[in-house]
Structure 1
Amino acid sequence: MLLAKPDVSLLDHLAEVTRLGATLADRLKLPEPLRQKVILACAFHDVGKATEDFQEYIRGRRKKAYPHALASLPFILLAEGLLNQQQGTDRHALEATGAVLTHHSPLGARLYLGYRGSRVTFHESLYAFLTELWDLLARYGIGDLPSVSEFWHSLQGLLQSAPADLLESVLELGAARHSLRGLLRLQQVERFARVKATLHLADWLASAQQPDPHILFLRNGASAIGRYARQLEGPLREFQRKAQSVSTEKVLWLRAPTGTGKTEALLLWAGDTERLIYLLPTQATTNAMWRRLRRIYGDDAVALAHGRAAYMLRIESDEDPLDARLFGSVFARPVVVATLDQYLLAHLHGRHWEERRTLARCATIVLDEIHAYEPYTLGLLLEALRRELPARLALASATLPESLLQLFPEGYLVEAEEDLWQRRRHHVQLRKGSLLEEGMQQARNFAHQGRRVLVVANTVADAQALYEQLQATGLPCTLLHARFAFRDRQHKEERVARPRPGSIFIATQVVEVSLDISYDVLLTEVAPIDALVQRMGRVNRRGDNPSAPVLIYTNWSEGARRIYGQDVLERSLEILQTLPAEPTDEELARATHRLYEYVLHTEAWQQELQEGRQTLDELQRILGCYTIDLTDEQLRARFTTRRGMISVDVLPQCYVQEALQLKEQGEGWRLPELLVPVPVYWLIKAPDAFEELADLQVRQTGLPYDAERGLRLTDDWQTRVEASIL
């Protein structure tokens, strides 16, 4: 008997994967020709395990075997050619061939190059096995292929060549000639992605011992959010009911002030969707939403996808980390909470792009905090949506400028009711002077009054300087910025969520979209209006108290000028000067719109937007059906979803011994706890501050670090690198 696994016959495995693939093809609403391609791919994907060396390997008599996906190539290539004749489709449409060949490896120009000239020998029972496989195909509606004997006769010619050599065989495509490898790159992207994604999902489900494909789809989502909404205080707000009532709309635009139930409105609109992908700007906001949606839809239904998802799953979930990470990373759970980067990397053809794009295409996608992205990222997003609009799309923000909305597909606008916009939560005071000097003294005064004080600086260096000066006074202070180790940052976020009276929280822009906090008073350096509105949303968050003091210091630092630009800061200050002392949420939203009207029409903003669009367009045209090769320097330079502040993780020297001990104890997965993100250009401008730590496959840095102040630049290093954004 031919084996697929030590305890599973090859025929049983192929039958199970084919059953799952057929069900998934139906659930994903694949057209019949593609459904047949999926059946074919599932039935043939592991035929290459019928080699003598694989059967020896699976029985423990060999240490390695010839790649079975490559050994399957002659079979699927011939079978798909016959199916194309039967369907009357293009004979060069080889979606199933590409899917089978790459079900363990990304499709690319170097795939299996090392196996050229290497032939394989198939097991003597292969013909009898194919006879049984033909019965399996007939059960799923593919019964018009030639007989097994005819197939066998045609197959002999292909088996005379090494499978890898078939990839270099030349085929005609119109007036052009391409190798089979090149022809696979030129397949219709959507068709190839859908066939490969369905095969992959079916194979993973079978291997993960979860043979029910329906676990990949959300059941009774409207009931789940309805139960959750009934547990909240008071009835639904008018705009939440409105969002629920327009659930048939394909595109929703939602604008509602902070703390009024925007998330609930979005979920009510999503209703009974079978797939929900909720995209947010940062890992911190994504983690918080993941916890929240698990309470609504259940732990098993909700996945997390971002750069540190594997770590979070080990810490906070009882699931098998491998299965949970795999299904989450490819958007295969019913509900996926992810950073926008994960969605965009799929459109830049990162690993497993086929699954993510296929599943996103038939999902309800929520883009929350849409205001938070720079123009390059927005350009990537707009181009991705232009090419592949999901089944349903929602854009949401407390500050959703009309000029920004016009860039996106036209939607049905739902706004919070008028009384919610008329809240006056803040008393705004423009103060001459700088945050570092006049602001520090005022922060002390507020703290002595027992106020919980939030101080927001525009650069890490300024925030660290404020912390050191205020801490020296003996007041309880906490500092948070982006250059803390993950573990230390988590501890700080927990601490600042429950501030004591008289405490001071000094932060950078990390508070704008990352933390659900509410303080009594805000002191901040002038910044763009949209950033200031987000900062103001962290004091008197729900408007339950009298207007909270907001002191905005009008002398900005050199670091702020480099980050935001002189013209944006000047325009923001002009707009601030037109606001009343106690602006309503509506007046703050309009102020944001005024700034966007200016910024979106600047040459620099438009240029970055177009660069994002162009990057995605060029990469997709270059790659076709290939997965991006990150060893190619030119391609790697384009494989980024952000501009300006690209970061890399480094390990402070003070944590090196702890990191090595974790590895020795078999807990190397905890290494992310100790890593600190730094701007990538630091490594270029100050290379001698960093060195490779081969044992941990990470860079260590000798820059000073402690858990209270984070990573710091000494005076010597300060002159060698510029101030960064966070």
Structure 2
Amino acid sequence: MLGGVVRAHLAEIFPDPALSRSWVPLFCGLHDIGKYAPDFQALVYELAVKLFGELAIEDLDMVRKPAGMGRRVDAPHGILTALHVRDMLESWGAAKGTALRVSEALGGHHGHFPAGEAIRQARSERNAHGGERWAAWRTALVLDVARLRGVPEPDLVEWRDLRLSLPAAIGLAALTTVSDWVASDTSNFRALEPGVDLDAYAKSCDAKADEAVVRLGMSPWSPPAQADFETLFRRAPRPVQKVVELATSDLAEPVLLVIEAPTGEGKSKAALQAATSMVRQLGVSGFYVAMPTQATSNQMRLEIQSMLHELGDETPVNLVHAGAKPTDVGRDEGDDDVAAQSWFTRKRSMLAPLGCGTIDQALKGAIRSGHVFVRLAALSNKVVVFDEVHAYDVYMSTLLERLLMWLGALGTPVILLSATLPAGRRHALIAAWQAGRRGCPPQQIPAVPSPVSYPRVTVATATCATEHPAEVSDLNKDRRIHLSHIGDEEIVDWLLEQASQDRCVAVIHNLVRRAIKTHDALAARISELPEAERPLLIAINGTLPAGQRRKEEQRLRNCFGDDGVRPRRAIVVGTQVLEQSLDLDFDIMLTDLAPIDALIQRAGRIQRHRRDQSRGRLRLVITGVTDMPEGPRFPPYLRNVYAPILLMRTWALLRDRPHIDSPSEVSHLVDQVYGGEIECPQGWADAWRKEEEYLRALRSRDNAAARTLYLPMPHKVEDLAELTERPKSTKQTRKQSGKRR
């Protein structure tokens, strides 16, 4: 469950790797040594007296819980574990700092690393831990376990050589916690009866552990020996896919891969091929694909399953998002294994070798929270793919950059996908990962102007970033998107007119209320048409119940997917879910004005799979904006979704522009809106200045909000408790207000 870099650090805790391999499992097994104390034993007083006899009665009486007291008042055994392990290692000769870090890693197995103050407090509570006598008994137990496991005796170990780096500490803490979960499951290890032959039992444990790992679906994925694109997908790669395949064919170390290409060029399949290749080359256990929404997660899971099916591979793909159910684990494979379902929890779901879900599940690894180290360790052993990285606001982007730092520090290979990534964002994302690898702040990573035009593929190592130019497929060459503008009052008539010409039209509104209004108005008008002339009307937005939404997503794929059976005429009214990653193809599109990158992304759904004269010109019709002398007017509440200045800058570029040429103009337009100089149109100056100030304040607030809950920079961590102290809710991966999808 640990990535190669983390495993390497654990193997080096002693100069002799064999010694490390012996002591790391033993350390994990000591996580409950704190239960060997009066405070815990007295919870079942009569049994404790029977087992310990006269020697312990006085100590047990001191901490015995009064009759009738319902709640537990014993000291947390994780803290007592930390206290004993720290003292024991120091007595054996380990350095104080190392002994502290090992003790924190073991004592944090219930999710939160014990802080120094808590350990000091526990030391003063002699009645709880039992003093020197109980400490001696605990150490004797450790020695007995070491003998049973064939671990070298502590007297023969040079403990001053023991070192525990931060990656090693994360790995040790995660291994300890997961070992606890596995061993505590009585279906894996039954409780021992008194008088059992411990020598015989110890010899049987390895086989039981192996069986448990297999049963729980934690075994590493075995990718095919040939991981080239044609083997995986039974088709020739497109130009971008070929560049990705070549750029990642001979890797000796973890990398961050950035794929920038227009919608429809197959970035998702390129990422799956690169991830599969990296799994084989770098020895990680599998991959996790992080998508912007539940809908796109569901679709990506189907795409991964299709790839595996072509390979004859029955490895289940874990679906990880808030709307997923336990039965989604292996659901399509007919696997009703109760043990597998029991592992589908928020904290354990990332342990499966192959996973797909929302980006939120990965971003939780950047938040100070219980068991965050398990999430990080699980991600360290995967290739982590982030789709649509241009689509996240400042708040989520701040969390993403901090997560990338940690993934870099843990040696996790990462793949970033985007159709429209501003130059500044590209550098920030690469710099965050590289800073983690180098052990420095991102500000120390210099920005280098891109020598390669869009589309491009960037491969970043710890020390450099190499860009590779890529062509586009014939479908996306010289793609001219014709622009026009209509008012809100024209929307319904325009849509019905387009549908009457036997076209399939997509409508993307920025607000659910607008989508519902348009849908209801269309439904009323369509009901008045003769049945033979009625277009199919479909709604997809964030207010639909989960079950209905899944059905609508499947209907959309059946009608407008690559292999779909298209209706003669149709109108699909939706929100941003139509923009991001659903692989759909429409004849023409009406869209609310959105920032330039979102508009380009939306336009990628126009004639995505096939272009010919019968479908007419590629047309993107913009609505949701009214020109006024003092500046454009937008629908109410839209600033909760997009910053008005981004809409103003986009409209200043596009309002008199007849078309956009893709891909040649894409990168320039995106950089202009997000960082270039745009002339403020006459009369807009006051509103322009006001909204620029609003955006600066908004970004400052969102950045500050994310900083209150994310992890410290890896190279700044001195005490493991910094990762779980003042824990925050992992539900805070998104701003409370924002897009409804």
Mapped contact 1:251–1:412 kept (Cα < 8 A) = no
1:398–1:222 distance in 2 versus 1, CA, 3 Å: farther
Q: Which stretch shifts more, 45-54 or 251-260?
A: 45-54
Matches of 2:592 and 2:81, distance apart in 1: 67
Partner in structure 2 of residue 357 of structure 1: 376
Partner in structure 2 of residue 211 of structure 1: 209
Q: Which of residues 543, 546, 552 in structure 2 aligns to 1:483?
A: 543
Matches of 1:264 and 1:509, distance apart in 2: 22
**Partner SS for 1:293:** helix
Give the C-alpha shift of residue 501 in structure 1. Answer: 2.3
Partner in structure 2 of residue 376 of structure 1: 395
Partner in structure 1 of residue 66 of structure 2: none
Within a 5 Å distance, the mapping from 1:67-106 to structure 2 comes to: 70=76, 77-84=83-90, 86=92, 88-90=94-96, 93-104=99-110, 106=112
Matches of 2:646 and 2:666, distance apart in 1: 17
2:313 counterpart of 1:309: no
Partner in structure 1 of residue 708 of structure 2: 615
Give the C-alpha shift of residue 466 in structure 1. Answer: 0.8
What do residues 174-216 of structure 1 show as CA deviations (whole Å, max 9, x unaligned)? Answer: xxxxxxxxxxxxx986554322101123333444647335864
Partner in structure 2 of residue 386 of structure 1: 405
**Partner SS for 1:527:** coil
- TM-score normalized with structure 2 length: 0.67
The residue identity in structure 2 corresponding to 1:204 is W
The residue identity in structure 1 corresponding to 2:414 is L
Give the C-alpha shift of residue 457 in structure 1. Answer: 1.4
- TM-score normalized with structure 1 length: 0.68
Matches of 2:167 and 2:27, distance apart in 1: 16
**Partner SS for 1:517:** coil
Q: Which of residues 582, 585, 592 in structure 1 aligns to 2:670?
A: 592
Give the C-alpha shift of residue 325 in structure 1. Answer: 1.3
Give the C-alpha shift of residue 82 in structure 1. Answer: 3.5
Matches of 2:139 and 2:381, distance apart in 1: 40
Partner in structure 1 of residue 428 of structure 2: 407
Within a 5 Å distance, the mapping from 1:417-566 to structure 2 comes to: 417-419=471-473, 422-425=476-479, 427-434=481-488, 437-473=489-525, 474=527, 475=534, 476-499=536-559, 500-546=567-613, 547-553=617-623, 554-555=625-626, 556-560=634-638, 563-566=641-644
2:24 counterpart of 1:38: yes
**Partner SS for 2:732:** coil
Partner in structure 2 of residue 195 of structure 1: 172
Matches of 2:166 and 2:239, distance apart in 1: 43
Mapped contact 1:304–1:338 kept (Cα < 8 A) = yes
Give the C-alpha shift of residue 235 in structure 1. Answer: 1.6
Matches of 2:26 and 2:74, distance apart in 1: 16
Q: Between Structure 1 and Structure 2, how many residues are aligned?
A: 581
Give the C-alpha shift of residue 405 in structure 1. Answer: 0.7
Give the C-alpha shift of residue 424 in structure 1. Answer: 4.7
Q: Which stretch shifts more, 285-294 or 312-321?
A: 312-321
Between the aligned residues of both structures, percent identity stands at 22
What do residues 311-335 of structure 1 show as CA deviations (whole Å, max 9, x unaligned)? Answer: 5626935243544414974532223
Within a 5 Å distance, the mapping from 1:29-68 to structure 2 comes to: 29-33=10-14, 38-47=24-33, 51=41
Mapped contact 1:304–1:328 kept (Cα < 8 A) = no
**Partner SS for 2:708:** helix
Mapped contact 1:456–1:507 kept (Cα < 8 A) = yes
Partner in structure 1 of residue 351 of structure 2: 332
The residue identity in structure 1 corresponding to 2:268 is T
Matches of 1:534 and 1:41, distance apart in 2: 51
1:94–1:246 distance in 2 versus 1, CA, 3 Å: same
Mapped contact 2:104–2:720 kept (Cα < 8 A) = no
Give the C-alpha shift of residue 576 in structure 1. Answer: 2.3
Matches of 2:583 and 2:270, distance apart in 1: 18
The residue identity in structure 1 corresponding to 2:173 is K
1:309–1:623 distance in 2 versus 1, CA, 3 Å: farther
Matches of 2:105 and 2:34, distance apart in 1: 14
Give the C-alpha shift of residue 242 in structure 1. Answer: 2.5
Mapped contact 1:251–1:392 kept (Cα < 8 A) = yes
**Partner SS for 1:258:** coil
Give the C-alpha shift of residue 442 in structure 1. Answer: 0.8
Within a 5 Å distance, the mapping from 1:641-656 to structure 2 comes to: 641-643=733-735, 645=737
Give the C-alpha shift of residue 622 in structure 1. Answer: 11
What do residues 459-480 of structure 1 show as CA deviations (whole Å, max 9, x unaligned)? Answer: 1111111111110122432222
Mapped contact 1:382–1:613 kept (Cα < 8 A) = no
Mapped contact 2:9–2:167 kept (Cα < 8 A) = no
Matches of 1:618 and 1:203, distance apart in 2: 25
Mapped contact 2:317–2:355 kept (Cα < 8 A) = yes
What do residues 412-449 of structure 1 show as CA deviations (whole Å, max 9, x unaligned)? Answer: 33454145585355642312422xx2121010011122
1:224–1:140 distance in 2 versus 1, CA, 3 Å: farther
Matches of 2:6 and 2:514, distance apart in 1: 55
Within a 5 Å distance, the mapping from 1:683-694 to structure 2 comes to: none
How well do the aligned residues superpose, as a CA RMSD in angstroms? 4.5
Give the C-alpha shift of residue 84 in structure 1. Answer: 4.2
Matches of 1:618 and 1:312, distance apart in 2: 32
What do residues 476-533 of structure 1 show as CA deviations (whole Å, max 9, x unaligned)? Answer: 3222211222112112222222342222111112211152211222111222111112
What do residues 127-150 of structure 1 show as CA deviations (whole Å, max 9, x unaligned)? Answer: 99666323035x23454279xxxx
Within a 5 Å distance, the mapping from 1:115-126 to structure 2 comes to: none
Matches of 1:528 and 1:39, distance apart in 2: 53
Mapped contact 2:596–2:669 kept (Cα < 8 A) = yes
Mapped contact 1:76–1:100 kept (Cα < 8 A) = yes
Give the C-alpha shift of residue 77 in structure 1. Answer: 3.9
Q: Which of residues 661, 668, 692 in structure 2 aligns to 1:583?
A: 661
Give the C-alpha shift of residue 25 in structure 1. Answer: 8.0
**Partner SS for 1:331:** helix
Structure 1 unaligned blocks of 5 or more: 1-19, 147-186, 647-723
1:448–1:526 distance in 2 versus 1, CA, 3 Å: same
1:614–1:381 distance in 2 versus 1, CA, 3 Å: same
2:289 counterpart of 1:278: yes
Mapped contact 1:252–1:413 kept (Cα < 8 A) = no
Mapped contact 2:350–2:375 kept (Cα < 8 A) = yes
1:233–1:522 distance in 2 versus 1, CA, 3 Å: farther
The residue identity in structure 1 corresponding to 2:307 is I
Matches of 2:42 and 2:547, distance apart in 1: 50
**Partner SS for 1:483:** coil
Q: Which of residues 410, 416, 432 in structure 2 aligns to 1:395?
A: 416
The residue identity in structure 2 corresponding to 1:549 is R
Matches of 1:126 and 1:589, distance apart in 2: 64
Partner in structure 1 of residue 147 of structure 2: 135
Give the C-alpha shift of residue 365 in structure 1. Answer: 2.3
Mapped contact 2:329–2:341 kept (Cα < 8 A) = no
Matches of 2:547 and 2:494, distance apart in 1: 31
Q: Which stretch shifts more, 419-428 or 462-471?
A: 419-428
Matches of 2:612 and 2:93, distance apart in 1: 69
